[in-house]
Structure 1
Amino acid sequence: MATSNADSAVSAQSTQQEAPPATVAGPFAGAWESCDGAVSPDECSRYLLIQHGDRICGTWSYFATGKGYEGRLGARAISETKAQRTQVCGRPGSEADTECAAGWQKIDKPLQLCDGKLSDMAGADGPCFADYKRVPVPQDELSALEAEPWLKACLTAEQ
């Protein structure tokens, strides 16, 4: 029995070492939500972002004209408060023209943090219009995103 318990302990330790690291560690990382104009919580716009060094990758979603839109994004942090989205994919709409099954669409759009909120648009004279508030992330949702092969590839991309 001692060997069996030892084997189980080694197996459990190996599993822990192979698990993806908790990468919700940068200023942009986490869940962000904007419910301005939403009739129900399902209509809120959301970002779920993972940050590893200066790479930021994750998912986005929004609701418009009675339809839900969602997709993926890749970005690079420029500073503690500014990042540039460099790639996106998802249901074609205002955020993306390219379905994720077809690959990434190159973009050049900002992400910015101001007053503890996230902005995904640039102001004409540089002011930050941040309307995404940080919200708690369910651990199972975060773990599922971290396990996605596309996310791992995105976080190691050289773009």
Structure 2
Amino acid sequence: MLLQRGERICGTWFHVASGKEYEGRLIARATSALEARRTHVCGRPGSEAGTECADGWDVVDRPLRLCDGRLADMAGADGRCRADYRAVPASRSGHAALTEQPWVQDCLSTDP
């Protein structure tokens, strides 16, 4: 789930790989209407993060890009957009719960 205020994007991520669940948080900065750069991540150590959120943030420089209404978090080998994620409506309670978290409020208003 991603929230945006101005250029700042803050949110949570989740994926399953090799039978294990990985989840965490991200901070990104929008660079255009269709592109952003992730600047910080944290979560269960694995492919996206090396630092647990309770311990801080990893500084990264990774893309986020909208392509044909889907979200890509990496470019394909040929540079094309590889959009694996599609938008789904967030529940009102899920959105409110994320918005109320202190780290999200800090994220949307200050640099990490």
- RMSD (Å) for aligned C-alpha atoms: 1.1
User: 1:49-128 alignment to 2 at 5 Å?
Assistant: 49-128=2-81
> What residue identity is the alignment partner of 1:134?
A
SS in 2 for 1:129: strand
> What residue identity is the alignment partner of 1:115?
D
2:94 to 130, 138, 141: 141
Q: Distance in 1 between matches of 2:84 and 2:25?
A: 20
Pairs aligned (count): 112
Equivalent position of 1:155 in the other structure:
108
The answer for unaligned runs of 5 or more in structure 2 is: none
Structure 1 runs of 4+ aligned residues shifted over 2 Å read 123-126
SS in 2 for 1:108: strand
The structure with the largest strand share of the pair is 2
TM-score by length of 2: 0.95
SS in 2 for 1:107: strand
Aligned-pair identity in percent equals: 59
The answer for unaligned runs of 5 or more in structure 1 is: 1-47
How far 1:96 sits from its partner (Å)?
A: 0.2
The structure with the largest helix share of the pair is 1
Q: Distance in 1 between matches of 2:107 and 2:45?
A: 20
